[in-house]
Structure 1
Amino acid sequence: MKNGDKSIQGICFGEVLWDNLPTGKKLGGAPLNVAYHLNKLGVTTRMLTRIGRDDNGYELRNVCEDLGIPTDFFQYDDLLPTSTVEVSIDAKRDVHYDIVYPVAWDRIAVDNVVLEAVAAVDFLVYGSLACRDEVSFQSLLLLLEKARFRVMDVNLRTPYFGPEKIHTLLGYADFVKMNAEELHVISDWNGATDTYTDQQRVDLIMEHFAIQEAIVTYGADGAVYHYKKDNISYHFPALKVQVEDTIGSGDSFLAAFLTKRFQMQEGVQLEEVLEFAATLSGFVTQSRGACPEYNDEVINRFQWLHPIFNGAQKQQ
Structure 2
Amino acid sequence: MSKTPDILCIGAVLWDIIGRHDNDMERGHDRPGRITRVPGGVAMNIAMALQAYGMTPALLTAIGRDAEGDELLRSCADMGMITDHIYRPHDLPTDRYMAIEGRNGLIAAIADAHSLEQAGDAILTPMSRALQGWTGLVGLDGNLTVDLLSQIASDEAFAKADLRLAPASPGKAERLRPFLSHPTATLYVNLEEAGLLLDTTFQDSATAATALLSKGLHRALVTNGAEAASLALGNKLLTFTPPKVEVKRITGAGDTFMAAHISAEATGATPETALQNAMNATATYISGDSY
State yes or no: 1:152 paired with 2:165: yes
State yes or no: 1:47 paired with 2:51: no
Which secondary structure state, in structure 2, belongs to the residue aligned with residue 217 of structure 1?
strand
TM-score of the superposition, structure 2-length normalised? 0.81
Q: Is the 8 A contact 1:17 1:60 kept in 2?
A: yes
Q: What do the CA deviations read for 1:103-156 (whole angstroms, capped 9, x no partner)? A: 245415123743533633511111222225x46764675476355211111233
Q: What do the CA deviations read for 1:78-124 (whole angstroms, capped 9, x no partner)? A: 11110012211145122532122522454151237435336335111
Q: For the structure 1 residues 146 and 208, does the alpha-carbon distance in structure 2 shift closer, same or farther, using more than 3 Å as the test?
A: closer
Q: What do the CA deviations read for 1:180-210 (whole angstroms, capped 9, x no partner)? A: 101111222xxx5x6886544432321222x
Q: Distance in 1 between matches of 2:88 and 2:73?
A: 11
**Cα deviation, residue 77, structure 1:** 0.8
State yes or no: 1:241 paired with 2:255: no
Q: Is the 8 A contact 1:213 1:225 kept in 2?
A: yes
Q: Is the 8 A contact 2:206 2:222 kept in 1?
A: no
- Give the aligned residue type for 1:250: G
Q: Distance in 1 between matches of 2:130 and 2:140?
A: 17
Q: Distance in 2 between matches of 1:11 and 1:101?
A: 19
TM-score of the superposition, structure 1-length normalised? 0.75
Q: Distance in 2 between matches of 1:49 and 1:81?
A: 13
State yes or no: 1:74 paired with 2:86: yes
**Cα deviation, residue 247, structure 1:** 1.5
Match of 1:207 among 196, 214, 230: 214
State yes or no: 1:16 paired with 2:23: no
- Give the aligned residue type for 1:148: A
- Give the aligned residue type for 1:241: V
- Give the aligned residue type for 1:26: V
**After the TM superposition, which residues 258-273 of structure 1 pair with which residues of structure 2 at under 5 Å, given as runs?**
258-264=262-268, 268-273=269-274
In structure 2, the residue matched to 1:170 is: 180
In structure 2, the residue matched to 1:126 is: 140
Q: For the structure 1 residues 221 and 204, does the alpha-carbon distance in structure 2 shift closer, same or farther, using more than 3 Å as the test?
A: closer
In structure 2, the residue matched to 1:306 is: none
**Cα deviation, residue 240, structure 1:** 2.1
**Cα deviation, residue 38, structure 1:** 1.2
**After the TM superposition, which residues 33-44 of structure 1 pair with which residues of structure 2 at under 5 Å, given as runs?**
33-44=45-56
Q: Distance in 2 between matches of 1:19 and 1:32?
A: 10
In structure 2, the residue matched to 1:218 is: 224
**Cα deviation, residue 215, structure 1:** 0.6
Which secondary structure state, in structure 2, belongs to the residue aligned with residue 120 of structure 1?
coil
**Cα deviation, residue 57, structure 1:** 0.6
Question: Alignment RMSD, CA only?
Answer: 2.8
Q: Distance in 2 between matches of 1:104 and 1:180?
A: 26
Q: Is the 8 A contact 1:81 1:104 kept in 2?
A: no
In structure 2, the residue matched to 1:300 is: none
State yes or no: 1:57 paired with 2:69: yes
State yes or no: 1:187 paired with 2:193: no
Q: Is the 8 A contact 1:50 1:77 kept in 2?
A: yes
**Cα deviation, residue 232, structure 1:** 2.0
| Structure 1: gaps spanning 5 or more residues | 1-5, 295-316
Q: Is the 8 A contact 1:52 1:104 kept in 2?
A: no
Q: Distance in 1 between matches of 2:156 and 2:126?
A: 10
- Give the aligned residue type for 2:215: H
**Aligned length, in residue pairs:** 271
**After the TM superposition, which residues 290-305 of structure 1 pair with which residues of structure 2 at under 5 Å, given as runs?**
292=290
Q: For the structure 1 residues 41 and 149, does the alpha-carbon distance in structure 2 shift closer, same or farther, using more than 3 Å as the test?
A: same
